[in-house]
Every structure is written in C-alpha cells, then in structure tokens.
Structure 1
Amino acid sequence: MVLVATIVGAGIAARGVLASPAPAETLRPLVREALPDVPGYGLTAAEVSFPPGAKAVPHRHGKAFLFVYVLAGSVHSQIEGEPVRTFRTGESWTEKPGDHHVLTENASARDVAKLLVVFIAPKGDALKVDDSPSEP
C-alpha cells in the first residue's frame, strides 16, 4: 500500500491515510510455440492490458527479444538511457535482450490500453522479471 503523508481539503489536514495500490497490467497468453529452426527458443504472444492509470513495475525480459504492438489506447514507454516515448493504437516498438524497461504506463486516466507482445525467448525463461524494491 502507499502511505499518503498529508491530504489537504477544505482547510483540514489528515495524516496517515492509506490509499489503495495503483492498478497493474495483466498478461493473457495467446500462443506458445517452440521455434523448430531455433533449438531451445520459443515464441509466446500475449495480450497485455493496462487499466486506466496502470503502471508496470520497472522490469527486464532476460534474453527475450520483444515486438510490441498497441492494439488500443496509448502507453508511455521508456528503456533505460532513452527518452520517454508515447505509442498509440497501431504503433509498435521492439526491445532487445537485456533492455531495462524503466517505464510502462497507460497514458490515459480513463481508457484501457492493450498491447500485443510477442516474445522470442529461451524456453523456460521468465518472460518478465520485475526489479526488486532496492533496484533503481
């Protein structure tokens, strides 16, 4: 939970009010297939849905190569060392193995954002590894 230190409204201050955590993304696998010409690797396609205001924890995708296509809405995205970019419906990007994804969030407070994410990854590897709380 997030601790809100001070809320000020109508001239009255309240301390120690707990707020609910921000919404998170959900991943729904669509396809999982071995790559016959690339031993040890597989393809996974998934729909990732971001409710209004949702933000992913900074993360990496290990040795996976990703292709990401925006199915609906828009998202802000940033790979470490690169500028923040906004991707809208019909736009796409790629991520290389080892990239540190420091920002992924729904750009809208009202509309759902949906992504098609295609992972090419070593079989058995985790598709997403969130940063630990102590990592930057």
Structure 2
Amino acid sequence: MLRHILPTAALAVILASGAQADDGRAKLTIVYDQQLPNVEGKSIKAVLVEYGPGGASPAHTHPKSAFIYATVLEGAIRSQVNSGPAKVYHAGESFAEFPGDFHRVSANARSTEPARLLAVFVVGTNETNLTNFED
C-alpha cells in the first residue's frame, strides 16, 4: 500500500505562478513522492502539469531511469515523443514515455481553456531534476 502522501507545498516544483507563466510555460507540482519498499533505489513520483490556454513546455527529456505514465485530467494535450507523430490526448486518455525518450511537443491543444495532466514516474530515488528542458 502506498502511504505518506507528502504535502504538496513542501514538494512544489513551480516554474511559474498560476497555471501558466508569462512565457506560456506549464506549472509543474510534485504531488506524490514515495520510495518503493520492494524495489531498492526506485520511487514513484507524481507530477501535476497545468497548462493555461495555449500553454506549452519546451522540448525536454527525463532522467534515464524514468518510466512515465501520463493521464490527461482536464482538456486536451498535444504530445510528440521521439520521431513519432504528434497526437492529441483528451481527458481520460493516457500515454507512456520510456527511459531515454525525447519529448518534442507537450502543449495544451486548446487556446481557450486550461489543460491538466498527471505524470507518474517510476524513477531512481535520488533523481531530483525530473525534467531537463532543451531551451
């Protein structure tokens, strides 16, 4: 059983105030961080990603140890991983990223309403930088 949900404020990784910065970037907040008791050196970390209308994140990678499962909670997210096609995911739909993947596009697919997704990482416990932006 997963326990010990840590307070969001104590774990916040905020790139901007509000759902989107003036430069259109997303707001990222770690909402869960738990070491796996049966897999030494691995943790589950969940990140809430909030995009304002028309918002986007720069191209990025994640730690080489990271497997990511993402679910769209609200709105629609446009995503492109590696050289695959760009795809729009709507609320309730999910996608995965594998270790070493390059996330070329991650954006709100709509210009008039916000979008949110929950990205759940299985990652090395010592990883502190979950997203490496390419800009």
Same fold (TM > 0.5): yes
Query: Could you say what secondary structure the match of 1:93 adopts?
Result: strand
Name the residue aligned to 2:80.
78
> Aligned residue for 2:13?
none
Larger strand share, 1 or 2: 1
Which amino acid in structure 1 is aligned with residue 95 of structure 2? W
Amino acid at match of 1:60: T
Q: How big is each residue's C-alpha offset from its partner over 1:55-108, in whole Å with a ceiling of 9 and x where there is no partner?
A: 101001122100100000001100111000000000000100110000001011
1:128 aligned onto 2:131: yes
Contiguous gaps of at least 5 residues in structure 1: 1-19
Give the distance between the partners of 2:23 and 2:87, measured in 1 at CA. 21
**Based on CA coordinates, which of the two structures has the bigger radius of gyration?**
1
How far apart in 1 are the matches of 2:119 and 2:22?
25
Moved over 4 A (4+): none
CA deviations 1:36-68 (Å, max 9, x no partner) are 111111001121101111110100112210010
Scaled by the length of structure 1, the TM-score of the pair is: 0.79
Count of matched residue pairs = 113
After TM superposition, the score normalised by the length of structure 2 is: 0.80
Distance (Å, rounded) in 2 between the aligned partners of 1:54 and 1:22? 9
Q: 2:105 aligns with which of 103, 106, 116?
A: 103
